[in-house]
Amino acid sequence: MTSVKEPPATNKPPVWKISAWRSMYPGMWSWVLQRLSALALIVLFPIHVMNPYIDSVRITMLLLVVWHAMHGIKVILTDFGFPDRHQRKLFWVLCVLGIAAFFWLAYMHTEYWRFMA
């Protein structure tokens, strides 16, 4: 319609193509998984409220919460001046701490339920 020449389209691989994800680094994966964990928690939380005794839901939620918090802690620390050159190390350290926290909390949790039963 207009006489203005179309500018060339921006080169962007669509998100469903693997090539769009190949240049992603750990920090990006950490972010993507945090967003996904948030979505999963939104779905699981009402189920948990309705019936708090489904073990699989409880454990999955624990895992998701720990993961979500882990990325959050990373962002908070770097926002407040944690040196950027160590951000990748921070990611891996938090991964390990997150896994440890998950197992510890899961253990405490089952002990608690055993005690209550």
Partner 1 sequence: MNEEVRVSEDAQLSEGTPESGAHEEPVPEKEEPEEKAEKRPTVRVRIRRGGAAGDPEERFDSFEIETGPRMTVLDALVAVQSAQEPALSFRYSCRVGMCGTCALKVNGRPAWACRTRLEGLGDEITLEPLTNFPVLRDLAVDMSPFFAKMKRARGWLEPTSAAEKAPALIAPGSRERKRIEPHIECITCGICYASCSIVGHDSDYLGPAALNRAYTLVNDSRDALGLERLLEVCTEDGAWRCHSQYNCTESCPKGISPTGAIKGLKRRAVTGGVKRFAASIFRGRAPGE
Binding site for partner 1 (CB under 8 A): 7-13, 19, 22-28, 31, 74-75, 78-81, 84-85, 87-88
| Cβ 6 to partner 1 shortest distance, Å | 8
Least Cβ distance, residue 103 to partner 1 (angstroms): 27
84: amino acid identity, one letter: D
Cα–Cα nearest to 31, from 81, 99, 78, 97: 78
Residue 23 or 56 having the CB closest to partner 1 = 23
Q: Which is nearer to partner 1, 85 or 114 (CB)?
A: 85
Contacts of 37 (CB under 8 A, 6+ apart): 64, 65, 67, 68
Nearer to partner 1 (CB atom), residue 22 or residue 114: 22
Closest CB 95 distance from partner 1, rounded Å: 15
Place of tokens 């950490």: 30
Count CB atoms within 10 A of the CB of residue 4. Answer: 6
